[in-house]
Amino acid sequence: MAQIPTSSDRQFTDDSEIWHSLKYAIAASSGFQRWQLEHHVQLQGLRLEQQVQRYLRETLETLAY
């Protein structure tokens, strides 16, 4: 029997697509690229998603001050 997608399934798909697009937009930004150069040793072995998450966390921590 075929499963009918629920609204929560669709929301998850929408969120995943948004995160995917946002992740690559952030990675293409000059701020992220400069941050990567400054932290390149610490970022070795991390996936792009992990790097973007760390960048966002550090940026938000800086803004919180």
Tokens of 27: 């990675």
Phi, psi of 37 (to 5 degrees): -60, -40
pLDDT tens by residue, 5-39: 566 667 767 889 999 999 999 999 999 999 999 99
Q: Distances in Å between the alpha carbon of 31 and those of 2, 20, 26, 27?
A: 46, 18, 8, 9
Q: How much is the pLDDT for 6?
A: 61
What single DSSP character describes residue 4?
P
Task: Give the pLDDT band of residue 60 (cuts 50, 70, 90).
Answer: very high
pLDDT of residue 5: 58
